[in-house]
Structure 1
C-alpha cells in the first residue's frame, strides 16, 4: 500500500470511529444497569428515551424545569428552563467514546491495510468499545451485545473469506471462537466469582476475530487480556482501592487483549 493511500485509509477509519463512537453514550446509559434489572427506557427524570444510538441527552428535559415533575411544567416554566440553563444531559458526553473508537479504528486500519477484513474490524470496533464501557460501569456484559457480536463476527468473516486478497481463515476463526469460549466457560465453572458467564459469551466473539489470523494470534490475544487484567488489579491493590478478593470487570481486558492480538496478527499476516 502506497504511503498516500495508507494515510487516507487511516484518516477515513478514524473519522468512521469518531462518528460511531459519538453514537454510543445513549446505548451505554441504557445498558449500564446492574444484573437482573431491565434496560433503561427513560432518562433520570422519567422521560421515555427514543432509540438506542445517539448522545445522552433528553429533549423533553429541555422543556421541563428542574424541580418540576415530568409532564407538569407550564409553558412559562418551560421558557424559564430554557433561559436558566436546565441541564438536559443524563449521561456522559461523546468526547471520550468518540476519541477512543477513532483511535482504535485508526490503529486497525494501519495494521490491516486494504485487506477486506478491515471492514469487519471497523464494524465490530464500536461494539467492543460499548461493551467495555458498560462492563466498567456495572460489571455486566449484556447478552444483546455479546452473542450478536460473536455471530456477526463469524458471519462477516465468512463473507470476507470469499473475497480475494484476504489474509485469514474462516475455519480457524470458528474453531478459535469455540476454543476461547469453552476455555472461559471452564474458568466460569471453576470460579464464578472471578469470571462471569458474560465473559465466556464475549470470548466467543474475541476468539473469532483472533482465530482469523491463526492460533498464535489467539494465544497472544488471550495472554494479553490476562496480563492487562492482572496489571489493572495489581495497580488497584497497590493504590489500596481494592483487595485481593475484590471483583473487577474482566470484559474490558478481554477486549483489550483481543485488540492487541488483532493488531499484531493483522500487521504480520
Structure 2
C-alpha cells in the first residue's frame, strides 16, 4: 500500500500542532514552585480555547500596542501609610510608628511615660527587709583599687581560636545551574518544522497500522516536553504522568484493532522496566539524574516496549549515547565542565524516536 498520502497527512498534522507548541511551552517553562504562566511577558492575560492553552504564541493586546501591565503595579496616587508594605497594606497586628520624642522633652500632660512607669513598678515589686525603707538598689561594687603590695588583676586567658571553616572546594560537586534566560513567546517555524518531520518519518515507518495514531498523538507532546526541559531544566508532572497513562491506554486500544504490529503486555512491562532503571540511577546519583527523567522514562518505555525488548534497549541506549556526546562536546569546546547541568529529556526523547523508527520498520 502506498503510504505517501498517509505521510503527507501526518506532516500536515505535525506542522499544525507544532504551531501550537510554543504557547504551551512558554506557559509551562516556570520554576518548580509555580504551576504555569497565565500572562504574556508584558503582563497581558493569556486567553483563548482550553483556558488559554490552545493558540498561537502571540498576544493581541501587545500587537495592538497596549501598554504593559505588571502584576504588582501600585497606583501612583495611593497614600503611603507608615509601616505599609509594598502592596499598600499593613501586615496583620502591625501598628503605625509613633513620632520620636527627644530625651529632654517633657512628657505631655495626660500621657504616661512608659519607661519611667516600668522602672517604678519594678522597684516597688522588689522584696525588702521588715521595717526597712524602700530605697533604690545599691550600685554593684566595682573592682577594688590596688593597694600597697597588691598587684594588678591578672589578665583573662585568651579565648581559643575558632576552628577554621571548611573550604568550599572540599564540598561535594553539585551540578552548576546555568544562568536563567528569558523564555521566548513567539511563533517558531523551526518547532513546527521539526514536529512535521517527526510525524512524517513516523508515518513512513509505521504505515497504515493502528499504532500510528498513537505515535502522531504523542509526537507534539514529546516536542513540548523537550522544549520545556531545554528552557528551564525540568519536566512538568502535568505532562509526564498523563502521557504515560495515555500511551498505555491508547496502545491497548490499538492492540484490539486488526493489523497491529506490537505487543501491549510487553509495552506495559517495558514502561515499568525503563522507569525502574531510571529510578535506580536517580537513587545512586540524585544530582546527575532528575526525578522528572524517571517519570518520562515510564512513557518512553511503554512506547519502545510495544515493538519488543530489543527496540526498548536500542532507544534507551541511544538516549544515553546522544547525551554523553553532547556533554563531551561542550567540555571540549570549554563551554561546560563536569558539574554543568544539561537537560537530559531532549536526548531521551530523541533516542526513543530513533528506536521507534527502527522498530516500526522492522515490524513492516
Q: TM-score, normalised by structure 2?
A: 0.66
One of 8, 24, 28 as aligned partner of 2:25: 28
Matched, 1:41 2:38: yes
Q: How does 1:2-13 map to 2 (within 5 A)?
A: 5-13=2-10
Which residue of structure 2 lines up, in the alignment, with residue 81 of structure 1? none
Matched, 1:218 2:312: yes
Matched, 1:138 2:138: no
Find the aligned partners of 1:112 and 1:160 in 2 and give their Cα distance: 13
Which residue of structure 2 lines up, in the alignment, with residue 162 of structure 1? 256
Which residue of structure 2 lines up, in the alignment, with residue 236 of structure 1? 330
- Cα RMSD (Å): 1.7
Instruction: Using the TM superposition, name which of 37-46 and 250-259 deviates more.
Output: 37-46
Change over 3 Å in CA distance of 1:244–1:63 after alignment to 2: same
The Cα shift of 1:92 comes to 3.4
SS at match of 2:3: helix
Which residue of structure 2 lines up, in the alignment, with residue 54 of structure 1? 55
The Cα shift of 1:69 comes to 4.1
The Cα shift of 1:35 comes to 2.2
The Cα shift of 1:70 comes to 6.8
Matched, 1:199 2:200: no
Find the aligned partners of 1:243 and 1:117 in 2 and give their Cα distance: 42
The Cα shift of 1:231 comes to 0.9
Instruction: Using the TM superposition, name which of 180-189 and 28-37 deviates more.
Output: 28-37
Whether the aligned pair in 2 keeps the contact of 1:23 and 1:94 (CA below 8 Å) is no
Whether the aligned pair in 1 keeps the contact of 2:41 and 2:185 (CA below 8 Å) is no
Once the two structures are superposed, what CA deviation does each residue of 1:189-230 show, in whole Å capped at 9, x if it has no partner? Answer: 111111100000000000000000000000000000000101
Once the two structures are superposed, what CA deviation does each residue of 1:104-142 show, in whole Å capped at 9, x if it has no partner? Answer: 000001110111100100000000000000001110100
Whether the aligned pair in 2 keeps the contact of 1:213 and 1:265 (CA below 8 Å) is yes
The Cα shift of 1:18 comes to 0.3
More helix per residue: 1 or 2? 1
Find the aligned partners of 1:220 and 1:92 in 2 and give their Cα distance: 36
Which residue of structure 1 lines up, in the alignment, with residue 140 of structure 2? none
Change over 3 Å in CA distance of 1:161–1:245 after alignment to 2: same
SS at match of 1:16: helix
Stretches of structure 1 that go unaligned for 5 or more consecutive residues are: 73-89
Which residue of structure 1 lines up, in the alignment, with residue 268 of structure 2? 174
Whether the aligned pair in 2 keeps the contact of 1:25 and 1:53 (CA below 8 Å) is no
Aligned residues: 249
Find the aligned partners of 2:4 and 2:308 in 1 and give their Cα distance: 27
Whether the aligned pair in 2 keeps the contact of 1:64 and 1:70 (CA below 8 Å) is no
Whether the aligned pair in 2 keeps the contact of 1:221 and 1:262 (CA below 8 Å) is yes
The Cα shift of 1:59 comes to 1.1
Which residue of structure 2 lines up, in the alignment, with residue 186 of structure 1? 280
The Cα shift of 1:65 comes to 4.1
Q: How does 1:115-154 map to 2 (within 5 A)?
A: 115-154=209-248
Which residue of structure 2 lines up, in the alignment, with residue 252 of structure 1? 346
Higher relative contact order (CA 8 A, sep 6+): 2
Matched, 1:108 2:109: no
Q: How does 1:78-117 map to 2 (within 5 A)?
A: 91-117=185-211
Whether the aligned pair in 2 keeps the contact of 1:117 and 1:157 (CA below 8 Å) is yes
Whether the aligned pair in 1 keeps the contact of 2:267 and 2:304 (CA below 8 Å) is yes
Whether the aligned pair in 1 keeps the contact of 2:44 and 2:69 (CA below 8 Å) is no
Which residue of structure 1 lines up, in the alignment, with residue 154 of structure 2? none
